[in-house]
Amino acid sequence: MSQYQSDKNIVGGQEQPLGLRAECTDRRLRIFRTGLKSPVLTQHARRDWRPFIHPILAPDGVGELTEDGAGGHHDWQHGLFIGLNDVNGVRFWMEEDGVDGTFHPKPLLVQIHDERSVGWTVNSEWRSPSGVPMVAETQKWLFRDEGTEFILDLSWTLRGLIDLVFGQYAYGGLYLRSPYRSDSGARVLNSEGASNLDVDGQRARWAVVEQPIPGREQCRGAVCSVAMLDHPANPEYPVPWRVDRHVGVAPSRCIAGAWRLGRGESTLCRYRLLFRCGKADRERIEAVWRTFAGA
């Protein structure tokens, strides 16, 4: 067991035995950790709405590492979510009625549940503004409690229900909306040594957001980090990344150019996210990436 793994978790400065409990309905999954009253992760799959994950708590239970932009600076950005801007000319990004394409998730399926991990699947149909089915999407998630860290894996599959062209665009894909504050000192780093807006558009194996988290002012450390890792088998690896001025981060294949998907054809991308209390640890991220890349 590495120094980053533990058979205990730390809640309120006290050790607690590892233990995850899942509460799932057709439209919402909540994962609870021993010693915490609030869920550490919530998956939403509202009928006829974009599925998303929010909030994800820091591993010690203090503070949220995601933010729902509804009513704020990006109304359509909900924690950890997926969207694209040009699918046969249709935008699956913002949520303008009659303008954007729509998402239609099926009831949630939980397949894995033990004291350290919970796995679930979100199947959705993407439709044009006029209601034509275009894309069948599958998000397979696996959440693991490593004691001092959380690891979240995604296998993301898109299958064409019609012949599709995915256009080149400056951003899109799996997107992390963090609780950014302009005066917080937040920053983004990548595997190639770039930082902040210099990460935008650059290819890299991983990128990490590091920032003080609201609600952690009385903690030993206010800073937490979330790393997003690309997989060598993914198209366009190492992928170009999107970083916006509010430290929204996304591995964005669409930056590299357009691609096609025929009717009945599928494309798969795999990603891993690492959630930690404390500043970004490049050595640790590299170790997690090597394990992920070799899996």
**Each residue of 44-55: pLDDT tens digit?**
999 999 999 999
3-state secondary structure of 69: coil
Q: Give the lowest-confidence range in 5-14, 108-117, 190-199.
A: 5-14
Q: What average pLDDT is seen over the chain?
A: 92
Q: Give the lowest-confidence range in 11-15, 169-173, 254-258.
A: 11-15
Place of tokens 């909900």: 78
| Residue 194 reports pLDDT greater than 70 | yes
Q: What is the pTM of this model?
A: 0.93
CB atoms within 10 A of CB 34: 15
The answer to whether 172 and 166 have CB atoms below 8 angstroms apart is no
Instruction: Look at residue 74 in the predicted model and tell me its pLDDT.
Output: 73
**Each residue of 71-89: pLDDT tens digit?**
566 778 899 999 999 999 9
Task: List the one residue out of 40, 282, 13, 294 whose CA is nearest residue 146.
Answer: 40
Query: What's the CA gap between 81 and 39, in Å, rounded?
Result: 18
Question: Residue 185: in which H helix or E strand, if any?
Answer: none
- The CATH code that applies to domain 8-294 is 2.70.98
Confidence of residue 241 (pLDDT cuts 50, 70, 90): very high
Q: What is the 3-state secondary structure (H, E, C) of 161-177?
A: CCCEEECCCCCCEEEEC
Question: Residue 126: in which H helix or E strand, if any?
Answer: strand 117-127
Chain-centre distance of CA 126, in angstroms?
19
| Residue 120 reports pLDDT greater than 60 | yes
The answer to whether 204 and 228 have CB atoms below 8 angstroms apart is no
- Length of the chain in terms of residues written: 295
Instruction: Look at residue 5 in the predicted model and tell me its pLDDT.
Output: 42
